[in-house]
Structure 1
C-alpha cells in the first residue's frame, strides 16, 4: 500500500539500498534525513509530517526488513511531544514502553515535597522492543486521571537482552522503586496513553503491511518462474488459489489501514491492528508453502520478512486483544452507530 506517493520512492531508495549497511551507519543516515522525528511537529523539535508519512516509513521498514528502531524512536518522540517533554531525548535512538493501567505505579516522593520532587516507579513492562540496544526508553504509564510519561536510562532498568524470532532485540523493563528526576517526567492528559496505543497499532500494522507486500511479491515471482512438469507453478489451480488468497489478505489489510490513517481513532486503529495480526500469520504460512524448501534457506530473502511477520503479529498484544478493544469501542454507546461509522465512514 502507498500511504504517501511522494515519500514512497525515497523510502525505497534509502532503505532498499542500505539493507546491508551497518546499523550505526544507517541510523546516522536516517537521523540526517530527519526520519526518526517525522510526524512530530516542528515547533516540538520534530520534522513535521502527518500520520500517512510516518506509516510510509513504517511500511518501508517492513518491506525491506531493516533492523533499526525507526518506528520505536518515532513513537517515543511523539509521546514526549504530547507530554511537553524534550524530543531531543530520543536523538540517539529510543524504545517506548507502554504500561497499561495497573501494571506500573508512578508516584511522587512525598519526602521531597511539592511538584519538584522526584518520581518513583514500580512494576514491569514486558517485551519492550529494542530495549537492550538503545540508550533511552520512554515510559508511558496509563492512570485513571492522567498519563505519566518518563524519560529513563534504558540500561538502568533492562533485564538481560533477548532476541525475538526476527532476531531483533527486546527485553523486560523492571522498575523496582526506580527514582527519576522531576524534569524527566510529565503528567499529561489521561487520553494520551490511548492515543499512543492507537498510533502504535497503526504503525505496527503498517510495518506488517510492508512485510506482507514483500512476501507476496516474492511469491508471485517464484510461482511464475519456477517450472514443474514443464510448466510454471502458477499454472496449477491449487497454486493459483493460494496466490489469490494472499492477494485478498494483502488488500484487506490495506483497506483497514487506509481507514485507520485517514480517519484516526480507537476503533479504526484496533481494526487495522486486528486485521494485521491475522494477515501476518496467514501470509507467512502460505508463502512458505508455495515456496517449498527454497523459502527456508538463509540465502533466499523470504525468511527476512516472514520471521518479522510472526514476531510483530503479537507485539503490544495478540489478535484477540485488538478484537476485544474493537468490540469494546463498538458497543460502548449501546447502539449500532459506532459500527456503522467504522465500516462506512458515515453516521446513521
Structure 2
C-alpha cells in the first residue's frame, strides 16, 4: 500500500482501538459502545469506503477497503461495517447512490431467494442475514421474475419482517421476509453480474476478516504461553506447546496468504472470470480450514480460561468460525470448483493454475 492508503487503515485501527477494545466491550455487558463506534466510522467515511464520491462515499481503493476489513477482523468487530461496505459496493454496481447509515445485504449466501415482480415489488425470504435487525436499510440482490438478470434494490428494514437469530458468535443473524415490499430505489445490475459474483465478493471480505481474527488469535496465544507458568516453568518452554504454536502460526500464515490472493484478484480481474472463481473459492476454503484448526489450537493453549465469557479469546475464535459459512461454506465452494474442473477438463485447468 502507498502512504495515503496506509493512512486509511491506520485511521480504522485507531478507531477500533479507542472505541471497540474487546476487553472493554466484554466489561461493558451491553451495546452502548456501538453508537459512538458507528458514528466515528461514518464520520471518517469508512462505512462507505467502496462507494465513489459521486455517489456519496469515500471512494477508497479496493485494496484500502480490504485493509480496513483485515483490521476489523483483528479487532473482532461486532458491528455491520463489512456489511455496509459490501452493500455500498453492490449499490454502486447498479449506479444507486448509497445513503448514510448502516446497511446489510440479502442474500448473504451464494443463492438468491428473492425475486422482483413486474410492479417492482420484492418477495422472498433471505436467511441468516447479518445484522439485519440493526441495519437501517437492506440492499437486496433480486432475480427478475420474468427472466434473466439481477436487480439491485434498496429496502427499508422497517418494511420487512425480521425473524431474529444469532450467529455462533452471538451476533445478529436474522431471517428477513420480503412480502411485496416496494424498494426505496432499484436498478438493474450490469448484464454480466450474477449471484455468484456477489458470493465471491462476500467470500473475499470474509477471508480478510477471518485472517485478521486469526492474526490476533496467534498474538494472544503466544503472549499467554510466555506468561503462563505450569510446573515451575512457562508453558512456552514445553515442546508440545511450541509445536502447537508453530502449527497455529502456519495456519495463520496460510489464511493471510489466501486472503491477500483473493483481494488482489478482485482488484485486478473481473469477478466473472475463471481466475476469480479459482482464486477466491480456494481462498475461502483455505481460510475456513485455517479457522477450524487455529481456533482449536488457541483454545488448547489457553486451557479452560479461553472458554470463559471474561476472556477475549472467544470473541476471535467464534467470529472466525462463524464467518466460515457466510457467502458459501468450504463444502459449497469445493463443489463449485469440482464442477468447474469437470466442465473445463484438465487441459484447461492446468494452464489456469500454472498462470496464477
Structure 1, gaps ≥5 residues long: 110-118
Aligned match of 1:11: 12
**How much does 1:331 deviate?**
4.6
Cα distance in 2 between the residues matched to 1:63 and 1:161: 27
Give the 3 Å change call, closer, same or farther, for CA 106–273 of structure 1 in structure 2: same
Q: How does 1:298-313 map to 2 (within 5 A)?
A: 298-313=309-324
Aligned Cα RMSD in Å?
A: 2.4
Name the residue aligned to 1:95. Answer: 104
Question: 1:287-315 deviations in whole A, cap 9, x for unaligned?
Answer: 00110011112222111111112221212
Preserved contact between residue 101 and residue 142 of structure 1 (Cα < 8 Å): no
Between 94-103 and 312-321, the greater mean CA deviation after superposition: 94-103
Q: Distance in 1 between matches of 2:226 and 2:301?
A: 11
User: Matched residues in 1 for 2:150 and 2:40: separation?
Assistant: 33
CA contact (8 A) 1:131 1:158 kept: no
343 and 238 in structure 1: CA distance in 2 versus 1, 3 angstrom threshold = farther
Cα offsets for 1:47-103 (capped at 9, x unmatched): 112222111111122111222100000111111110111212xx1201101275562
1:214 pairs with 2:225: no
Q: How far does the alpha carbon of each residue in 1:231-269 deviate from its partner, in whole angstroms, 9 at most, with x for none? A: 221222211111111111111111112221112222211
Change (3 A) 1:341 1:74: same
How far apart, CA to CA, are the structure 2 residues paired with 1:43 and 1:334? 44
Q: Distance in 1 between matches of 2:305 and 2:111?
A: 45
Deviation of 1:212 (Å): 0.5
* Change beyond 3 A, Cα 1:70–1:107: same
Q: Would the alpha carbon gap of residues 292 and 100 (structure 1) be closer, same or farther in structure 2, given more than 3 Å must change? A: closer
Q: Once structures 1 and 2 are overlaid, which stretch shifts more, 247-256 or 259-268? A: 259-268
Greater shift in the superposed pair: 161-170 or 279-288: 161-170
Aligned counterpart for 1:108 among listed residues 110, 113, 118:
118
Secondary structure of 1:140's match? strand
CA distance in 1, matches of 2:9, 2:101: 25
CA distance in 1, matches of 2:354, 2:318: 31
Q: 1:224 aligns with which of 223, 226, 229?
A: 226
Residue of structure 2 equivalent to 1:115? none
Deviation of 1:30 after TM superposition, in Å, equals 0.5
* Distance in structure 1 (CA, Å) of the matches to 2:181 and 2:323: 32
With normalisation by structure 1, the TM-score equals 0.88
Q: Is the 8 A contact 2:162 2:175 kept in 1?
A: yes
Q: Deviations over 1:207-226 (max 9, x none)?
A: 11111011111001111221
Query: Are 2:172 and 1:169 equivalent residues in the alignment?
Result: yes
Give the whole-Å Cα distance in 2 for the aligned partners of 1:338 and 1:50. 31
Distance 1:308 1:339, change over 3 A: farther
Superposition TM-score, scaled by structure 2 size: 0.86
1:282 correspondence with 2:310? no
Report the 3-state secondary structure (helix = DSSP H, G, I; strand = E; otherwise coil) of the residue aligned with 2:138.
strand
Number of equivalences: 332
With over 3 angstroms needed to count, the CA separation of the structure-2 counterparts of 1:272 and 1:311, relative to structure 1, is same
Q: 1:279 to 1:101 in 2, by over 3 A?
A: closer
